[in-house]
């Protein structure tokens, strides 16, 4: 690993008191080069305190913003503190820190890459034990995205990702709201950044509740499909520096 | 147009206009949100009073019963207002998100500084004794 590069692991966590401690310890032992930032997204349990006790830097949202807002706080922190690489690891323990060196190796092997995603579906013996409905949804997104961006994407909902400076500054500026991973792949494409996937193993969730609850999966599908097609209809979905801000005071009918 | 329905429309749109004016006077909402309400109240009141005008509008778009044109116009205003509020709510929640993130990041920076200051103080005290 480049001795001069700085690395940050961002762990978005909402009520993950059961697992956050072991996630931080696993990160320390498997990826010691990484500073650990836990974004406590308005937890009502002791997630933040536990993270602090384990020695992580903790950014505490005053109320729950959702996964998109939580990860974006991580991007802003990484950008403002000048980190070269940022890896995103879920707070529920389903991502394995032992796999981070794989992501790093991939990014270092190809300097044009801006984002490296861990994919559950690339290796033959993945055996990811998700319910069939969710896997079907993921495969539909994967199919559509692969066609749109002209590159195979096998696991567009994976939140196990490594970003370089360019991707960090893009997402610090604008990151999708509710179910951000799929849209983030599109944003990478539209901004002419480059991404790839590496096969990783993931565990079943250690605890907590997924940001995608089963009852909401239909809503999730529709919302993300809409985002994909709206994203295609925009010539430039995200403002570049110097454009009008996405939110301005005068904005009304 | 029958007198009863005209009376009803005049009273209803007049009351709406008065309520809006009173709310603006009390600064209950920003002027820019008041403009749409005032405008729609004025148009509805105007058309309720000016019978011939309403009949002309109804004929123009092929509505047989003129008061229905009034409903159509009112409905149009309601849609525009709702759209307006959706925009406003989206903007506000975006801004709230950014504020919450900034607050969290600043708090973290502040806490870190306080901790490092506290440990520096401890060090100097330790050295002094």
pLDDT at A227: 79
Residue B123 at interface with chain A, using a CB cutoff of 8 Å: no
Question: Which two tokens mark A32?
Answer: 């010691």
Higher pLDDT, B112 or A177: B112
A-chain residues near B104 (CB < 8 A): 39, 59-62, 73
pLDDT at A126: 55
Short-list A210, A53, A180, CA closest to A117? A180
What DSSP string runs through A38-71?
EEE-S-SSSHHHHHHHTT-EEEE-SS---HHHHH
Superfamily of domain A7-233: Spore Coat Polysaccharide Biosynthesis Protein SpsA; Chain A (3.90.550.10)
pLDDT at A207: 46
pLDDT at A29: 93
* Cα separation, A160 vs A181, whole angstroms: 10
What pTM was computed for the model?
A: 0.82
Higher pLDDT, B91 or A221: B91
Give the residues of chain A that fall short of pLDDT 50: 206-209
pLDDT at B3: 84
Question: Which two tokens mark B18?
Answer: 């008065």
pLDDT at A252: 52
pLDDT at A208: 46
Spans of all domains in chain A? 7-233
Contact by Cβ (8 Å): A154, A197: yes
Q: What is the mean pLDDT of residues B48-57?
A: 87
pLDDT at residue B47 is higher than 70: yes
pLDDT at A192: 87
Judge: A60–B112 Cβ closer than 8 Å, yes or no.
no
Residue B107 at interface with chain A, using a CB cutoff of 8 Å: yes
A-B contacts (CB, under 8 Å)? 50
Question: For testing the chain B interface, which of A53, A63, A73 should be mutated: the one with the most B CBs within 10 Å?
Answer: A73
* Cα separation, A142 vs A135, whole angstroms: 10
Residue B87 at interface with chain A, using a CB cutoff of 8 Å: yes
pLDDT at residue B22 is higher than 60: yes
pLDDT at residue B72 is higher than 70: yes
Identify the residue whose tokens are 């913003």.
A65
Residue B86 at interface with chain A, using a CB cutoff of 8 Å: no
Percentages (nearest 5) of helix, strand, coil residues in chain A: 40, 15, 45
Contact by Cβ (8 Å): B70, B41: no
Higher pLDDT, B49 or A221: B49
Residue B110 at interface with chain A, using a CB cutoff of 8 Å: no
Give the minimum alpha-carbon distance from A224 to chain B in angstroms, rounded to a whole number. 18
């Amino acid at each position: 690993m480049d001795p001069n590069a700085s690395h940050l692991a961002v762990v978005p966590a909402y009520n993950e008191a059961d697992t956050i401690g072991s996630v931080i310890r696993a990160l320390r032992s498997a990826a010691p080069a990484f500073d650990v930032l836990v974004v406590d997204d308005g937890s009502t349990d002791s997630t933040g305190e536990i993270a602090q006790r384990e020695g992580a830097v903790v950014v505490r949202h005053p109320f729950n913003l959702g996964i998109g807002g939580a990860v974006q706080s991580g991007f802003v922190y990484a950008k403002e503190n000048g980190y070269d690489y940022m890896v995103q690891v879920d707070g529920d323990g389903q991502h394995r820190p032992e796999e981070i060196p794989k992501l790093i190796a991939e990014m270092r092997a190809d300097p044009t890459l801006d984002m490296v995603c861990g994919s559950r579906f690339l290796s033959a013996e993945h055996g990811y034990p998700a319910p069939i409905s969710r896997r079907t949804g993921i495969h539909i997104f994967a199919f559509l995205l692969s066609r749109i961006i002209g590159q195979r994407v096998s696991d567009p909902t994976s939140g196990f990702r490594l970003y370089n400076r360019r991707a960090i500054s893009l997402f610090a500026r604008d990151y999708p709201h509710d179910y951000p991973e799929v849209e983030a792949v599109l944003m990478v494409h539209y901004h002419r950044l480059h991404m790839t996937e590496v096969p990783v193993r993931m565990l079943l969730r250690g605890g907590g509740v997924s940001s995608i609850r089963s009852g909401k999966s239909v809503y999730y599908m529709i919302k993300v499909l809409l985002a994909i097609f709206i994203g295609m209809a925009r010539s430039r979905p995200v403002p570049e520096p110097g454009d009008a801000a996405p939110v301005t005071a005068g904005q009304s009918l | 147009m029958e007198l009863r329905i005209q009376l009803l429309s005049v009273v209803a749109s007049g009351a709406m206009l008065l309520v809006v004016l009173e709310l603006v006077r009390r600064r209950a909402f920003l002027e820019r949100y008041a403009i749409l309400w005032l405008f729609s109240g004025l148009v509805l009141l105007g058309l309720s009073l000016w019978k011939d005008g309403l009949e002309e509008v109804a004929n123009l778009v092929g509505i047989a019963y003129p008061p229905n044109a009034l409903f159509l116009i009112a409905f149009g205003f309601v849609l525009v207002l709702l759209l307006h509020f959706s925009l406003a709510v989206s903007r506000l929640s975006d801004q709230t998100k950014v504020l919450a993130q900034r607050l969290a990041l600043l708090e973290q920076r502040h806490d870190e500084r306080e901790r490092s200051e506290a440990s520096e103080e401890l060090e100097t005290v330790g050295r002094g004794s």
